[in-house]
Amino acid sequence: MGSPSLLPLEPASPAHICPLDQTCSYLDEAARELQLDAGLQAILSHPRKVVTVSIPIKLDNGTVQVLAGHRVQHCDVLGPYKGGTRYHPAVTLREVSALAMLMTWKCALLGIPYGGAKGGIAINPNDYSVSELERITRRYTNELIKDIGPSVDIPAPDVGTSAREMAWMMDTYSMNVGHAVPGVVTGKPISIGGSRGREMATGRGVMITVREALAAQGKSLAGARIVIQGFGNVGRSAAQLLYEAGARILAVSTSTNGLFADAGLDIPALLAYAAENHKSLVGFPGSMPISNDDLLLLPCDVLIPAALENQITEANVAQVKAQIIVEAANGPVTLAADQALEARGVTVFPDILANAGGVVVSYLEWVQGLSYVFWDEERVNREMESLMVYAFQRVLQQSQNRQVPLRLAAYTLAVGRVAQAVSDRGLYP
């Protein structure tokens, strides 16, 4: 079926692997496996709503710049739309649409009552001052005011955004409606109703997935050799928690540099070093520099791509030596690479399972906010872990029962759940 033809998408770049085509192909595969009705499949292939707004801002130097901001709402059949907000120069409507669809499947797989959405602005946040970023975020929120809300669509952080942007979004929304509405976003600061444990949640979910993946092969985290691409919110938290559990973190990277140490990196020391050096990893004692390209090819037990899409592709997959890949990023392994890895017996734990810890704790944050009762971090982590482990076991079981790879197993569970809900609600004419 391919990318939905109704969307006002940018032309596909021949040099670039389109994330939307990839995600739609996985949906097509799941639809075939489930023998899904063609009409239902067509409904699920299209986002319900696509919003693109212009964001005029006055820069600190007095000039005006107009940016494009997107919010794609893929499906709300199970509950309010839910998904992060990305600030990155490579953001396109195609990418945001793919990420919105992934959110639908992720929430359905984890059994949380949300649909899927994603937002984004094509900027490099490092090119803007804090006050410029605040103006951009507030204007973007203002333009989306009728499209978001605690029972409509609930943004959260993603690449290039954090609790700070969520606080600005919450404040802008609240000013518009005339009273405080903490539930309009998740991943916000604890001082305004954020949840304990949300900041580390995606990394914690990744650590749980790695632990369960190794356990399923009769191995343990202690001494496991792990390579992590990306040292932002997700990569950093996963590195810290895996290190604390006794794993050997051989290499980590940011977009500009990477570090390798065969004996394993001292992650607490590296976190302190990066904090002192404005996030730069360069020159960390006891390590060697490594490029992002070489990092992906290191021999290891578990490779964790935790940065962006399309990192393991047809071009490098033959040289990937990891035994297990845990997709902390959304869409880091392309379809062609996925098939090649499957043929070679490399196990890939898919994004919609592996990085779901973040949205699960976003859900727990929303639940705490709605009930005005806030939990300690131990409870948040326990509730998240139980949902993650349950979803992991279901995916493994489904893969064995249907004799299909883990990604297809996860998709059949997620798509099947959403399709059932569409059909039960009678949305299918």
Ligand X SMILES: O=C(O)CCC(=O)C(=O)O
Ligand Y SMILES: NC(=O)C1=CN([C@@H]2O[C@H](COP(=O)(O)OP(=O)(O)OC[C@H]3O[C@@H](n4cnc5c(N)ncnc54)[C@H](O)[C@@H]3O)[C@@H](O)[C@H]2O)C=CC1
Instruction: Give yes or no for residue 228 binding ligand Y (CB under 6 A).
Output: no
Which residues 6+ apart lie within 8 Å of 35 measured at CB? none
Residue 292 contacts ligand Y per CB under 6 A? yes
Cα torsion angle, 21, 353, 326, 323, sign: negative
Shortest Cβ contact with ligand X: which residue? 84
Tokens 């002192």 correspond to 276
How many separate helices (H) and strands (E) can be counted in the chain? 14, 12
Backbone angles phi, psi at 36, to 5 degrees: -70, 145
Radius of gyration of the chain (CA): 21
Is 254 among the residues that bind ligand Y (CB under 6 A)?
Answer: yes
DSSP state, 157? Answer: E
Comparing CB distances to ligand Y, the nearer of 141 and 202 is 202
109 touches ligand Y (CB under 6 A): no
Nearer to ligand X, 232 or 358 (CB): 358
Residue 118 a catalytic site member: yes
Q: What are phi and psi of 269, to 5 degrees?
A: -65, -40
Looking at the Cβ atoms of 77 and 308, the one nearer to ligand Y is: 308
Distance of alpha carbon 140 from alpha carbon 161, whole angstroms: 13
Q: Which stretch binds ligand Y (CB under 6 A): 62-70, 144-152, 326-334, 393-401?
A: 326-334
Instruction: State which of positions 190-219 bind ligand Y (CB under 6 A).
Output: 202
330 is an interface residue for ligand Y by CB under 6 A: yes
Indicate the residue among 119 and 416 with the shorter CB distance to ligand Y.
119
Residue 186 contact, options ligand X, ligand Y, none, Cβ 5-8 Å cut-off depending on partner type: ligand X
DSSP class of 195: P
Query: Which among 49, 118, 146, 219 is annotated as catalytic?
Result: 118
List CB contacts of 130: < 8 A, sequence separation 6 or more.
none
Q: Which residue in the set 80, 232, 350, 369 belongs to the binding site for ligand Y (CB under 6 A)?
A: 232
List the single partner that 82 binds among ligand Y, ligand X, none, CB under 5 to 8 Å by kind.
Answer: ligand X
Between 69 and 83, name the residue whose CB sits nearer to ligand X.
83
Question: Which one-letter DSSP state was computed for residue 308?
Answer: -
Q: What backbone torsions phi and psi does residue 183 show, to the nearest 5 degrees?
A: -70, 0
What is the smallest separation between the CB atom of 112 and ligand Y, expressed in angstroms? 13
Query: Cα–Cα distance between 122 and 157 in angstroms, integer?
Result: 15
Task: From the list ligand X, ligand Y, none, pick the one residue 255 interacts with, judged by a Cβ distance below 5 to 8 Å according to partner type.
Answer: ligand Y
* In the complex, least distance from residue 368 CB atom to ligand X, rounded to whole angstroms: 14
Residue 416 interacts, among ligand Y, ligand X, none and using kind-specific CB cut-offs from 5 to 8 Å, with none
Please give the Cα distance from 175 to 168 (Å, whole number): 11
Which residues are at the interface with ligand X (CB under 6 A)? 82-84, 103, 106, 156, 158, 186-187, 330, 355, 358-359, 362
The answer to whether 412 contacts ligand Y (rule: CB under 6 A) is no
Distance of CA 94 to the CA centre of its chain: 16
**357-371 helix and 377-402 helix, angle to the nearest 10 degrees:** 130
**Where along the sequence are the contacts to ligand Y (CB under 6 A)?**
84, 157-160, 202, 229-235, 253-255, 292, 306-308, 328-330, 355, 358
